[in-house]
Amino acid sequence: MNCEITPLSEHTGAEVRGVDLSRPLDDETRARLNQAFVDASVLVIRDQSLTANQLLAGVQNFGTVFLQQNSKFALPECPEIHYLSNQDRYPDGKRYIPGAGYHTDHSNAAEPPKATVLLAIQLPEKGGDTQYVNLRRAYEGLSAATKQRIADLKGTHVYQSKHSERKLIGLTDEAKQKVPDAVKHPLVRTHPESGIPSISSIRSGSRKSTGCRKATRWNCSTNCSHTRRRRNTSIAIAGSRAILSCGTIAAFCIRPMATMTIARPAISIGLC
């Protein structure tokens, strides 16, 4: 398959054209896409009009699917995929904005997924951007003394952190039995494929990060971020091992969109 891969910024993201994920990919194309994903941390694959089951099959070119922790938003015809929408509300009637606030999906899992996949199905005329923060670059920018100080620190990751800017929809009793209560992960992790170190997620799902919060907060401010304007039928694959995401999609988008997660070495998917 003759696909074209173009960088989207100096440090984060690559755009892919000429790929049809509704059909099997040849080995060479699959290898190119996976390498581009490792290098750019975010892949945006254009022009994918897919059914839920085609999305599920297409995403498995990048790994196996990680099951979402909260099944409330599962698509009936394909429960591995969840929708994101601005049409859902908390029990008290307030609008629920999924994906808002910087976070990495499922960082509270013992083995977190390697990526989150979003397929934009219906977007509004305005809004719906996603901001990605490159944590590899954030780590690069730390002083040698700070790198040494945080080298052995760990953060505690939970489903709902008191530090989170958003309140998640509560888990069912059944899900609570399966979702880890609190998991520790190193603050600095090394990407298993590239060998490049980065800071791990310390917002949203992380409860404590033992002295590292101040040191790293804000290298991630301006020189590491990249904002993507979503387009209908575009798929975004964001790497959980080097990226923080902040979505505004649900504040503006109209049901349905889709999301899923790729486990390790797999993905989390969502229609958004």
Q: Which is nearer to Fe ion, 15 or 105 (CB)?
A: 105
Give the residue nearest to Fe ion (CB): 105
Q: Specify burial of residue 56 (Cβ count, 10 A radius: 0-12, 13-18, 19+).
A: buried
Q: Which is nearer to Fe ion, 188 or 272 (CB)?
A: 272
Residue 213 in tokens: 């919060």
Smallest distance from Fe ion to CB 247, Å: 6
Determine contact, residues 52/258, Cβ cutoff 8 Å: yes
Smallest distance from Fe ion to CB 134, Å: 16
Burial 60-87 (b: 16+ CB within 10 A, else e): ebbbebbbbbeeebbbeebebbbbbbbe
H helices within 87-217, ranges in order?
Answer: 135-140, 144-150, 173-178, 213-216
Distance CA 137, CA 196 (A): 10
Q: Which is nearer to Fe ion, 63 or 99 (CB)?
A: 99
Residue 160 in tokens: 């709902």
Residue 105 as a binder of Fe ion (CB under 5 A): the answer is yes
Q: Which is nearer to Fe ion, 37 or 132 (CB)?
A: 132
Residue 199 in tokens: 């800071």
Smallest distance from Fe ion to CB 204, Å: 9
Q: Which is nearer to Fe ion, 5 or 37 (CB)?
A: 37
Binding mask 74-103 for Fe ion (x = CB under 5 A): -------------------------x----
Beta strands at 42-45 and 14-17: parallel, antiparallel or unpaired: parallel
Determine the size of the site formed for Fe ion (CB under 5 A).
Answer: 2
Determine contact, residues 47/17, Cβ cutoff 8 Å: yes
Smallest distance from Fe ion to CB 63, Å: 17
Q: Tell me the helix, strand and coil percentages in the chain, rounded to 5.
A: 20, 30, 50
Smallest distance from Fe ion to CB 200, Å: 15
Residue 156 in tokens: 């505690």
Stretch that binds Fe ion, among 36-44, 104-112, 136-144, 222-230 (CB under 5 A): 104-112
Smallest distance from Fe ion to CB 87, Å: 18
Binding mask 42-81 for Fe ion (x = CB under 5 A): ----------------------------------------
Determine contact, residues 72/36, Cβ cutoff 8 Å: no
Q: Which is nearer to Fe ion, 80 or 105 (CB)?
A: 105
Smallest distance from Fe ion to CB 105, Å: 4
Which residues bind to Fe ion, rule: CB under 5 A? 99, 105
